[in-house]
Amino acid sequence: MIIDARGRACPEPVLMTKKALEKNPEGIEVLVDNVTARENIKRFAGNLEFQVVVEEQDEDYLLRLTK
Amino acid sequence: MKAKTLVIIAGAIVGISALILTFFGNPANMGFCIACFIRDTAGGLKLHSAGVVQYVRPEIIGLVLGAFIVAMAGKEFSPRAGSAPASRFVLGFFMMIGALMFLGCPLRMMLRISGGDLNAIVGLVGFIAGILIGIVFLNKGFSLKRAYKVSKADGYIFPGIQVVMLILLVGTPALLVFSTEGPGSMHAPVALALVGGLVVGAAAQKSRFCTAGGIRDAFLLKDFTLLIGFITVIVVVLIGNLALDSFNLGFEGQPIAHSDGLWNFLGMALVGFAAVLLGGCPLRQLILSGEGNIDSVITVVGMFIGAAVAHNFGLASSGQGPTFNGQIAVVIGFVVVAAIGLMNLQGRSVKGDA
């Protein structure tokens, strides 16, 4: 599942990630378009012990969160 | 760990800069105050005519330009707009109304706490209460929807305006108004204030320092990163004030403050509520406006207009306490901010509703 959190103001990308992870505890992908959201989600997912792989896509970042 | 280190360094930079600026002439417990400085700048531009609070504050210019320069250097300058700009204008407006009821933005509230002003503790309790109300809205699906990329040129406008302000301040001060008494007349030298703003703007951009975000994240996400920055500022300035013998514990006779507990509480509660719906405190809005966030530019403009209206219509408090008009404005503020909150509740679509 891909969450599109581009253009969202703080803390929405993290809240969208949180909600999606509750439904998909094995992992999700999140698309963001700024460094703040990228870092916030990495930190949030890291605290929940998810692995996070970041892939740059043009001006966006695709974050793959897996257990 | 890296984020925490950055935010501790940023907190220390904010605290030390505030101490230096106060030492060199800024009003007491007002090394930085985003609300007061925007209000002073509005006065300096004759948007209001409250004689004691008119001065184009170089700190504001520096904060925006510092964030702009660092964002450019870090390839984070990314102009975007379109996330409910009119709602953000109104939220910025009432965030200012709340701050001028209390007599300070959240950053000055922290500096007041560090100076021993116990009224600011009451303000902090209100601020936390407002943030908790905002969190209820966030949990119910509040969203101002997404922003979209706009041209780079649009992002240059607000930093450009700051350059113009600096040119006016240094080159043609006769066009501006300068307080000859009161808080507006008390200020550090222009160059020092500008550098202080630049340094703090840069540090705040890098660290995402936000006074409301710290408390919000702690409750909402159990993430204490930003809160550590908040505490760092208070501790650094407290130590500085004790060392400089400018710590004065009590409720009465505090500089540029009043001791009406109820309205200190409500003023800051309104600020906290609006700040959570906006996604950041007044300082954070300024920093984002330097990064090209046009929605934050609109928020800052709302704060400017809020400040001008507050002084034109007698809404701002003074050392004597709140005004009746100000109390009505704060109550209206709660109603309007709550209405914006309610009208923007939506199911938080996990697919992202564009």
Secondary structure of chain A in HEC code, one letter for each residue: CEEECCCCCCCHHHHHHHHHHHHCCCEEEEEECCHHHHHHHHHHHHHCCCEEEEEEECCEEEEEEEC
pLDDT, residue B349, reads 45
**Segments of chain B assigned E as strands:** 80-81, 148-149
If you search the block for the tokens 């974050």, which residue do you land on? A63
Contact residues of A toward B, CB < 8 A: 1-12, 14-16, 18-20, 23, 31, 33-36, 39, 43-44, 47, 59
Judge whether B274 and B189 are in contact, CB under 8 Å: no
Does A18 contact B354 at a Cβ distance shorter than 8 Å?
no
Judge whether B293 and B70 are in contact, CB under 8 Å: no
How many Å is the maximal CA-CA distance in chain A? 29
Contact list, A33 vs chain B (CB under 8 Å): 78, 80, 149
Angle at B168 between CA B162 and CA B169, to 5 degrees: 90
Name which of A42, A31, A40, A11 is nearest B207 in CA terms: A40
Residues of A noted as catalytic: 10
B311: which residues sit within 8 A by CB, 6+ positions away?
B39, B42, B43, B48, B49, B50, B53
Give the count of Cβ contacts less than 8 A between chain A and B. Answer: 73
Contact list, B350 vs chain A (CB under 8 Å): 1, 3, 16, 19-20, 23
What 3-state class would DSSP assign to B78?
Answer: coil
pLDDT, residue B347, reads 61
pLDDT, residue B354, reads 40
Judge whether B296 and B282 are in contact, CB under 8 Å: no
Tens digits of residue pLDDT in A6-60: 999 989 999 999 999 999 999 999 999 999 999 999 999 999 999 999 999 988 9
The answer, for B351 touching chain A at a CB cutoff of 8 Å, is yes
Strand-pair category, A60-66 with A51-57 = antiparallel
How far is the C-alpha of B247 from the C-alpha of B96, rounded, in Å?
Answer: 27
Judge whether B266 and B52 are in contact, CB under 8 Å: no
Q: Which residues is A27 bridged to in the sheet?
A: A66
- The token pair at B288 is 């984002």
If you search the block for the tokens 């106060």, which residue do you land on? B22
Best mutation target among B6, B209, B284, B350 (most A Cβ atoms within 10 Å) is B350
pLDDT, residue B238, reads 98
Total residue count of chain A as it appears in this document: 67
Q: In this predicted complex, what is the ipTM?
A: 0.94
B147: nearest CB among A1, A7, A16: A7
User: What's the pTM value of the predicted model, to 2 decimals?
Assistant: 0.96
Name which of A12, A52, A44, A7 is nearest A28 in CA terms: A52
Question: How many CA atoms lie less than 13 Å away from B55 in the CB half-sphere?
Answer: 22
How far is the C-alpha of B288 from the C-alpha of B294, rounded, in Å?
Answer: 8
Name which of B158, B194, B268 is nearest B21 in CA terms: B194
A10: nearest CB among B82, B149, B213: B213
User: Is the C-alpha dihedral spanning B292, B293, B294, B296 positive or negative?
Assistant: negative
The H-assigned helical ranges of B140-281 are 152-171, 190-207, 211-220, 225-243, 261-278
User: Which chain B residue has the Cα nearest residue A40?
Assistant: B3
The answer, for B153 touching chain A at a CB cutoff of 8 Å, is no
Which amino acid is present at B158? F
- Positions of chain B with pLDDT lower than 50, given as ranges: 348-354
How far is the C-alpha of B26 from the C-alpha of B151, rounded, in Å?
Answer: 38
Best mutation target among A1, A2, A3, A4 (most B Cβ atoms within 10 Å) is A4
Neighbour order of strands in the sheet with A2-4: A2-4, A27-32, A60-66, A51-57
- The token pair at B167 is 């040119």
pLDDT, residue B351, reads 45
- The token pair at B14 is 């904010």
Give Cα separations from B5 to A34, A35, B151 (angstroms): 21, 17, 34
How far is the C-alpha of B217 from the C-alpha of B248, rounded, in Å?
Answer: 31
Judge whether B133 and B292 are in contact, CB under 8 Å: no
pLDDT, residue B2, reads 83
